[in-house]
Amino acid sequence: MNAKTVIFDLGNVLIEWDRALLYRQLIDDSDELAWFLDNVFTLEANAILDSGTPLPEVAERIAAAHPDHAELVMVIADRWKETLGEVIDGSVAILESLASQGTPLYALSNWGKDTFAMIENDYAFFSHFDGMVISGREGVTKPNPAIFELLCARYSLAPDQCVFIDDSSANVAAAADLGFDAILFTDADALHADLVDRELLDPSPTSPPSTASS
């Protein structure tokens, strides 16, 4: 097998994440929900959280900017974990297969500092990582090249010896520009095929993960 290091994004690669998972419980009308996510609790607002701003402060900022929706916004401060969905079992099976072969494994994720602290002990498969770089802890987010460079410097990694997996095309493009072998994640089957092509996995299908959470 190839000896390259593999770097995983977390959200929507190993764990489902979507603001709508919480807010569809609170907003019945689909058009109103779409408007709220496009105009109030936006991905841009979430990026502030990913950069390290505490969740209560982010919620307060959004509520102040949208006072008519303040009550809905402030729910996120207590119920953020409900934006997480299921573990993506096929991806975790791939992670476990790589770990069983001794492949060096790292995580590089845009995730809030305090929100990651809420869940970092919830997933047993996190133990497979030799190191993790979480944007909220560093104050810089993907696709900024600085966070990739930080990962490499901290763990003595060479981009041309690393495979990087992410569901964001912008992040994949940034990694590729820095010399990583970057894969755009679409689903676990496609990822398995991509890693087989790179001789990082054998062609047999992945088996279900042994343990998804602790």
Cα 32 from chain centre: 27
pTM of the full structure? 0.93
Q: Residue for token digits 């944007």?
A: 135
> Which DSSP string do the residues of 19-35 spell out, in sequence order?
HHHHHTTT---HHHHHH
| Strand ranges (E), the chain | 5-8, 15-17, 84-87, 105-109, 131-134, 162-166, 181-184
Provide the β-strand partners of residue 184. 166
Q: Quote the pLDDT of residue 153.
A: 98
User: Does the pLDDT of residue 210 top 70, yes or no?
Assistant: no
- pLDDT exceeds cutoff 80 at 113: yes
Q: Is the pLDDT of residue 209 over 70?
A: no
Q: Are 87 and 27 in contact (CB under 8 A)?
A: no
**Pairing verdict, β 131-134 and 162-166:** unpaired
Fold (topology level) of 5-16+86-197:
Rossmann fold (3.40.50)
Round to whole Å and give the CA distance between 205 and 93: 10
> What average pLDDT does the structure give for the chain?
94
| pLDDT band, very low/low/confident/very high, at 162 (cuts 50, 70, 90) | very high
Which sequence spans correspond to the domains of the chain? 5-16+86-197, 18-84
Task: Tell me the mean pLDDT in the region 95-101.
Answer: 97
Q: How many CA atoms lie within 13 A of 196 on its CB side?
A: 11
pLDDT score, position 98? 98
Identify the pLDDT of residue 204. Answer: 72
DSSP 11: B
> Taking residues 8-29, what's their average pLDDT?
97
Provide the percentage of residues in the chain whose pLDDT is more than 90. Answer: 93
